[in-house]
Chains A and B, each alone.
Chain A
């Protein structure tokens, strides 16, 4: 029994609205799993079901091998961190940290031992006597994490914990959460709509859409081999370019350009050919000195340039489709220029336009 959390055939309906349908998910012990999706995809709902804050319509939830489907949130062995921190405003930091332990009628010296340990890990000792109102956003979120920490649980649930922080603080705390996971080695389930958070933190990412998991895989796998069009489009910024064409005799025909698909690993049998969509990430389109490794080359006209310092984005049209290309930050281009681009077909993705699945 290697799973920390197992979700079996989970259904959740709000009236007639089916938020989660026949959802199955197994999460390994010590794994950092990120639930990623746009708002309304059911990711927070799933987290609330695991926490026991929502009653499921059907299905089972196991935590640490125990069936907790009917258990109270406090009995499930979970700690939870919320987006709005949800600190009790009238209690001090110490009171916030110890509230759950006092509810469990734990001996006083054990409480203070755990509070000081959590405060030590999160470096919030000087704040223990303060009220939440006297803390900054980052400090509040640290206290909220501490509240989960003192409970000494196996599973941590994070519900978009960094969404209320500014960009710099978000990056700092993201690193801290990752460090914390390495230090504690417990299971973490993390809900976010931010793909950078998902890519950087996760051991595995579950991308959700309309209450279903579209793909569950490592960040690397999701980025390089998206299983369907939705995942391909969702991950990556700017998003993947999609070019409509046709597969014929092991080649992809795109408006007069023939692209050999020799190195491409097909996920499905596509010997019969037919219509297909070629997905190319902007950063996988090669320009300048990198062109040497490209097996397919063509020339496009630059329409718009967005210099971003570290790299430069250019907008252009290829085979009647609007495309983004990521160039080196030092590249000097302006609208109207002709630029030679190229790519390696083995790094591209092919999709069936009907089923939207990877080919």
Chain B
């Protein structure tokens, strides 16, 4: 009896009854959505207002700034503060604006990022795949290194750079950035290479590829995303660095962050808020651009950087 009932049901179309059918409808203005989007909106406004004030102020002339209406849009839009910030503002003794600092920062960031990423990727690959003798000890020391506060090492590094004759030079700062980026980047690459299937590495060994063959021809083509994350992490980190920049370089080779500080914190004459705002935005433009271009990868970089604290 039961058998026949089952077999007929398969072929005939079942008749629907009253009640819920298909996906459950969702209301746009549910209490949950109002709470969620309301909170997000308030937080967004909270963080966007300072940016708005900066942009608006940077487009005003000094007389308008003195009126003190910081939230009002500019009556007369002027780009003069931007031009001044870039090429005329005084950073200490010279008055050539941020442009010099900008190019210094480029000259510091580009080689630091390239060198540190290349070395760290090889480190990470060796640690993940070639379990050489003492690999764990080496890795522990490296991780320990990432927890040492930079301030502790400032002076010893000054002496070190002086001894090798690179103190106050761009090359010295590049070396410092490369070394200090090593723990976090190596960790990043090691974890990524560890997550790749181990059998792939074994297969490449059976196929006769060596240390560099496996790295360059098997691992590297698979690790574009992690390289992007590492580069984002390093570019934003090194570009935003102030401490090492001010300690290890001289007035001619100050990076942009130091130049910005010198403009904003100068104690002589009138405080030109509009120029300060423009200079700050220009300095922040590089990390900001990277953020908008790289999107999701940037978030991964931040998450990875969170370990650094």
Contacts and interface: CB of A to CB of B under 8 A. Distances in A.
Nearest to B197: A84
26 contacts: A48-B202, A51-B206, A53-B205, A72-B208, A73-B202, A73-B205, A73-B206, A73-B208, A74-B206, A74-B207, A74-B209, A80-B202, A82-B202, A82-B203, A84-B197, A84-B199, A86-B202, A87-B203, A88-B203, A99-B217, A100-B207, A100-B208, A103-B208, A103-B213, A147-B207, A159-B199
Interface string B225-249: 0000000000000000000000000
A342 B31 CA distance: 72
Interface string B58-88: 0000000000000000000000000000000
Contact of B203 (A48, A52, A86, A104): A86
Given A84-B197, A86-B197, A86-B200, A100 B222 contact: no
B207 A103 contact: yes
A147 B205 CA distance: 13
Interface residues of B, number: 16
Given A82-B203, A99-B209, 17 more contacts: A51-B202, A73-B206, A74-B206, A74-B208, A78-B206, A82-B199, A84-B197, A86-B199, A86-B202, A86-B203, A88-B203, A90-B221, A100-B208, A103-B207, A103-B208, A147-B203, A151-B207
B218 interface: yes
| Chain A interface bracket (under 10, 10 to 19, 20 to 34, 35 or more) | 20 to 34
Interface string A79-104: 11011101111100000000110011
Closest 7 A-B residue pairs measured CB to CB?
Answer: A74-B208, A100-B207, A86-B199, A90-B221, A86-B203, A103-B208, A82-B199
Nearest to A105: B208
Contacts of A52: 205
A100 B204 CA distance: 8
Chain B binding surface, main DSSP class = helix
B199 A83 contact: yes
Contacts of A88: 200, 203-204, 218
Interface of B: 197, 199-200, 202-209, 213, 217-218, 221-222
Contacts, number: 58
A80 B208 contact: no
Contacts of B221: 90
Nearest to A75: B208
Nearest to B221: A90
Interface of A: 48, 51-53, 72-74, 78-80, 82-84, 86-90, 99-100, 103-104, 147, 151, 159
Nearest to A159: B199
Nearest to A80: B206
A90 B224 CA distance: 11
Contact of B202 (A53, A104, A151): A53
A90 B205 contact: no
Nearest to B220: A90
B213 A74 contact: no
B208 A104 contact: yes
A87 B202 CA distance: 11
A151 B206 CA distance: 10
A278 B203 CA distance: 46
Contacts of A90: 221-222
Contacts of B222: 89-90
A72 B209 CA distance: 10
A79 B206 contact: yes
Contacts of A104: 208
A90 B204 CA distance: 13
A159 B199 CA distance: 10
Nearest to A100: B207
Nearest to A74: B208
A336 B218 CA distance: 63
Nearest to A83: B199
